Chain A
Amino acid sequence: MIPKKSEHSPAPLEEVSTNPDLKKKVNSVKPRRKVKSDNHNVTGYLFISPFLIGFFSLTIFPILYSFYLSFTDYDLLGTPNWIGFDNYVRMFTADPTFWKSMKVTFFYAGVAVPIRLVFALLVALALNKVVEMVGLYRTLLYLPSIVGGSIAISIMWRQLFGNDGAVNSILASIGLPTHSWLGDPDTAIWTLIILYGWQFGSSMLIFLAGLRNIPNTYYEASSVDGAGPIKQFFIITLPLLTPVILFNTIMQVIQGFMAFTPSFVVTNGGPVNSTLLYVLYMYRRAFEYFDMGYASAMAWVMLVIIAIFTAIIFKSSPHWVHYESENK
């Protein structure tokens, strides 16, 4: 199985990138491409047409409508009335809970996202090395991520971190002091952070797919050059993995800021709002406090925040993300 891999597959890759004749041919084609440049527009739009059709027929109306609602006093059941920027003003000047939830969310995203990413990457690297039973490990490690945010998980988690739960039993057995993890406003958020880290399976899977996409020939070539495993990691694995790292980072930032289920099902925001994530607060405002207009405004504030973070990551990406396709 393994020798087979290196035998044939990435060979054409090598050929393409090293064959001087081909390169020449490629260069000679270039001028012709420029002439046909408007042709690219047609092809490009053809390829993304499913997205455009969906965007204009299904996606854009709800989005614009929610933007409109953010300037109204919509209470979920009645007719929305235009109130200008009132919701936004109230949010920034007269709602301490808004700031509280913002703080909680920044802390949560700031800690949980890096933990999950690093964890996922390390496990993916480890799994990439283990050969026997790798399928089994991978499946078992992915399992936590498929129980999702069910009632079962909320009970499970409260059991785990409860006074007589598994975490405290382990601490007690090794002589460490036990703690009321969920009841202490300072530690409750950590149980959610651990939950987020525990469900690292999807990021891990993407890293794994990325690792598997790196042609073996690259490693073989560098082994011939005498590079050790550590050097290989830094000159081959890491650079070639950067597109996937970029993807995971951006998606995790988005998901981290929009996290909702964990605090909804496990702690319901408590104690003393110490786990009141932004989206949970928004959800309460919309559906429990009948304040949909305000909640919509909150959603758009969050959108701007996430967009800024995403934009910063994208802007920085040319400095650290390595695309094979844009090599030259």
Chain B
Amino acid sequence: MNNKKTKKIIQHTIMIIFTLIMIYPLVWMFSSSLKESSSVFVDAHSLIPDGFHFENYIQGWKGFGGISFSTFFFNSAIISIIATIGSIASSAVIAYGFARIKFAGKTIWFVCMMLTMMLPFEMVMIPQYIMFNKFGWIDTYLPLILPTFFGIPFFIFLIMQFIRTIPMELDEAAKIDGCNNFSIFFRIIVPLIVPAMMTSAIFSFYWRWDDFMGPLIYLSTPEKYPVSLALKLFSDPNSVTNWGAMFAMSSLSIVPIFIIFFFFQRYIVDGISTSGLKS
């Protein structure tokens, strides 16, 4: 008993030290958000701020030209939530098609899908802009949201790999019970890939939340900007940057991702066991 307890204490001590090292830079950022803007670099090495300058948060939240960060957060939330729903729903369906059904040309399409991940966005954004401009989609959220409804290769591949760990016998048994592919997918596969879908949801939310280039190129009206873009509005290398406010808003911008993660991660934990195979 005693032995077990010491082992546990050691285990937790190691985890705690490790965790602290990992999050040190974040603590640093948070502490900088409380420092006076001009002294951010003067006492950069210290984790404890010289005072609590909450006015950084007030100043930062005010935003730019009357558009406050509540607008930016709201925009980010809209974009991220819809895009996440879109990418997860469509990616799961597509992944099932690639992972479970044999059809002519499957390899070719799979290769095409993989190849689309190998070109940096910066290289296709000019032609993409020309295209979306022709569609009249500039300064709307459509270029940011609509493509996610056609599946995101990263998630398709991820969910595929999870589907492929599920024994084929399950599908076959279900077929005998008279299920077609669609009901197999919805009633057997989906419950089993909840962990993969939740993982994808966490990533998708974060990527959309953090995406800077897309909104930069496609949105023009500042009222439509998301947080990621708004954060960049603080800094200009040639003039005065309000570092305190920037760190304050950077710290706040992490909060929603943190919350999403905290609530969604339980589905990864529980995963296969509680989502059940009964249905």
Contacts and interface: CB of A to CB of B under 8 A. Distances in A.
Interface of A: 4-5, 8-10, 12-13, 16-17, 22-23, 25-26, 29, 37, 40-41, 43-48, 50-55, 57-59, 61-63, 65-66, 69, 76, 126, 130, 132-135, 137-148, 150-153, 156-157, 159-160, 164-166, 169, 198, 202, 205-206, 208-210, 212-213, 215-216, 240, 243-244, 246-247, 250-251, 254, 258, 260, 279, 282-283, 286-287, 292, 295-296, 299-300, 302-303, 306-307, 310, 323-327
A62 B195 contact: no
Interface in B70-117: 90, 93-94, 96-104, 106, 109, 112-117
B124 A146 contact: no
A9 B44 CA distance: 52
B124 A325 contact: no
A292 to B, nearest CB: 7
A146 B29 contact: no
Given A9-B273, A143-B258, A306 B109 contact: no
Given A51-B109, A137-B19, A151 B246 contact: yes
A41 B29 contact: no
B273 A216 contact: yes
A62 B172 CA distance: 41
B94 A325 contact: no
Contact of A138 (B94, B149, B265): B265
Given A10-B272, A54-B147, A159-B28, A299 B120 contact: yes
Interface residues of B, number: 101
Contact of B162 (A59, A145, A209): A209
B165 A243 contact: yes
Interface in B180-225: 181, 185, 195-196, 198-199, 202-203, 206, 210
B151 interface: yes
Interface of B: 11-12, 15, 19, 22-26, 28-29, 44-45, 90, 93-94, 96-104, 106, 109, 112-120, 122-128, 130-131, 146-147, 149-151, 154, 156-158, 161-170, 172-173, 175-176, 181, 185, 195-196, 198-199, 202-203, 206, 210, 231-232, 235, 246-247, 250, 254, 257-258, 261-262, 265-266, 268-274, 276-278
B102 A40 contact: yes
Contacts of A254: 117-118
Given A41-B104, A198-B22, A209 B124 contact: no
User: DSSP majority for the A interface?
Assistant: helix
A50 B151 contact: yes
A144 B25 CA distance: 8
Contact of A26 (B24, B116, B146, B173): B173
Residue among A41, A43, A145 with the highest chain B CB neighbour number at 10 A? A43
